[in-house]
Amino acid sequence: MKISCVILTMGNRVAELDRAVASVLDQIDGDVEVVIVGNGADVPELNASPGIGSAATIKIVRLQHNTGIPAGRNRGVEECSGDIVLFLDDDGWYASPRVAAHVRDRFAKEPDLAVISFRVMDPDGGNGQRRHVPRLRAGNPERSSPVTTFLGGACAIRRSAYLQVGGQPENFFYAHEETDLAWRLLGEGYRIEYDAQTVMYHPQVPPTRHAQFFRLNARNRVWLARRNLPWPLAAVYLLDWIALTLLRERSPSSLKAWFRGFGEGLREPAGERRPMSWATAWRMAKLGRPPIV
């Protein structure tokens, strides 16, 4: 099985991007195709390059404007030739040169496996962030398990499954696009696994560093429910997240932005509605994360 790696960049982290690409080219089991998507920016010149005798390729895609994370990744997948697609943040890098071999082996042996979500570690030796373990019981990041969502910048995806469900929802721009994709993959009978053996290093940075985090987080959560959940579950899901947000967030400005986004999610088109079956919802509940939290 051939492997491709899609890396999005805004062109402003040259040294980090070089490190990310080098960690892909250093994979020892086969040549990984690298597709770098300049999302509204030119891709800087890189020091990392395929070694002598390597058949690995680096392909550059330049988008005219910043189309957002899901659209950028969709364009990258369109340019890939691999059966498996790795998504890697431009400020992350693989901890081992055996990542490609490991995911290739798993996908080859497990035809119902659609996504492997990687373990994200702090390069400075910190404890890591709970949000990087995509399950409710996130206390032990060294434990692998089936999950119902995954980390968008630290994963491997079966390309045929990705295309089967239509890729990531481009109007989301940022936030919850991976969960939308995950729910649709689960609805098609695929599995998603958090695999603690596949490790990516990434600096510990809060998601709130993005200027529109609270607004897009709320808007896209509403769209996620409108697109994918039976209406009774959608209502419970959104009420739960209103309550959780009020309990967690103390900043008036953040709450104002969140509820503004929530209103946008109710008013604006969410895209194609394909509600999951009740059987899929029950399957998610048995995996420990029913689609109401």
CATH 3.60.15.10 fits 3-205, yes or no: no
Going from N- to C-terminal start, the domains of the chain cover: 3-205, 210-286
Give the separation between CA 43 and CA 60, rounded to whole angstroms: 7
Supply the pLDDT for residue 131: 83
Supply the pLDDT for residue 47: 86
Supply the pLDDT for residue 241: 97
Residue 95's nearest CA partner among 187, 2, 200 is 200
Give the separation between CA 235 and CA 205, rounded to whole angstroms: 32
Name the residue with tokens 């709320």.
218
DSSP secondary structure, the chain, as one string = --EEEEEEE-S--HHHHHHHHHHHHT-SSSPPEEEEEEESSPPPP-S--PPTT----EEEEEESS---HHHHHHHHHHH---SEEEEEETT-EES-TTHHHHHHHHHHH-TTEEEEEEEEE-TT-----GGGS-SS--S-TT--EE-S---TTEEEEEHHHHHHTTSS-GGG-SSSHHHHHHHHHHHTT-EEEEEEEEEEE-----GGGSTTHHHHHHHHHHHHHHHHS-HHHHHHHHHHHHHHHHHH---HHHHHHHHHHHHHHHHS------PPPHHHHHHHHHTT--TT-
Supply the pLDDT for residue 204: 82
Supply the pLDDT for residue 137: 87
Supply the pLDDT for residue 78: 97
Tokens describing residue 274: 């394909």
**Are residues 88 and 7 in contact, defined by beta-carbon separation less than 8 angstroms?**
yes
- Mark 180-217 as b/e (b = at least 16 C-beta within 10 Å): bbbbbbbbeebbbbbbbebbbbbeeeeeeeeeebbbbb
**Are residues 287 and 147 in contact, defined by beta-carbon separation less than 8 angstroms?**
yes
Supply the pLDDT for residue 293: 87
Supply the pLDDT for residue 130: 82
Tokens describing residue 106: 């798993």
| pLDDT string in tens for the chain (293-residue length) | 999 999 999 999 999 999 999 999 999 876 899 999 999 999 998 887 665 446 578 999 999 999 999 999 999 999 999 999 999 999 999 999 999 999 999 999 999 999 999 999 999 887 777 888 999 888 899 999 999 999 999 999 999 999 999 999 999 999 999 999 999 999 999 999 999 999 999 988 766 556 699 999 999 999 999 999 999 999 999 999 999 999 999 899 999 999 999 999 999 999 999 999 999 999 999 999 999 98
**Are residues 131 and 204 in contact, defined by beta-carbon separation less than 8 angstroms?**
no
- One-letter amino acid at 199 equals V
Give the separation between CA 87 and CA 198, rounded to whole angstroms: 13
Tokens describing residue 271: 């895209």
Q: CB burial class (10 A; 0-12, 13-18, 19+) of residue 149?
A: buried
Could you tell me the pTM of the whole model? 0.94
